Amino acid sequence: DTAVSQTPKYLVTQMGNDKSIKCEQNLGHDTMYWYKQDSKKFLKIMFSYNNKELIINETVPNRFSPKSPDKAHLNLHINSLELGDSAVYFCASSQDSHTEAFFGQGTRLTVV
């Protein structure tokens, strides 16, 4: 069983479109994250939610809006996609702030 699953795995879309990436974890964790990995493999945190509440928002354009309907889900909606949004987006979860984060398989977003 996949612990942290995100869909879709690949997403190709045109500039200006709006798209969503879904994430679900079945680990019973309280905290979920979105990370962005650029072409140089650099991983940067975007958002973190703890018990459905936003606790980290790292200078991300407001075109990006996370939504956590419940503790097991953290979706990422992106409006007006730009070329620079092309990257791999990873969802992750952790039990709390004292334990490791488990990552999903990533969503490769390509904006053309």
Partner 1 sequence: GESVGLHLPTLSVQEGDNSIINCAYSNSASDYFIWYKQESGKGPQFIIDIRSNMDKRQGQRVTVLLNKTVKHLSLQIAATQPGDSAVYFCAERGSGTYKYIFGTGTRLKVLA
Binding site for partner 1 (CB under 8 A): 4, 31, 33, 35, 40-45, 48, 50, 55-56, 58, 90, 92, 94, 97-98, 100-106
Other C-beta atoms closer than 10 Å to the C-beta of 11 total 19
Of 59 and 62, CB closest to partner 1:
59
Contacts of residue 50, Cβ cutoff 8 Å, sequence gap at least 6: 30, 31
Least Å distance between CB 33 and partner 1? 8
| Choice between 14 and 59, CB closer to partner 1 | 59
Cβ at position 19, least distance to partner 1 in Å: 20
Q: Indicate the burial class of 72 (C-beta count within 10 angstroms; 0-12, 13-18, 19 or more).
A: middle
Supply 93's token pair.
């979860």
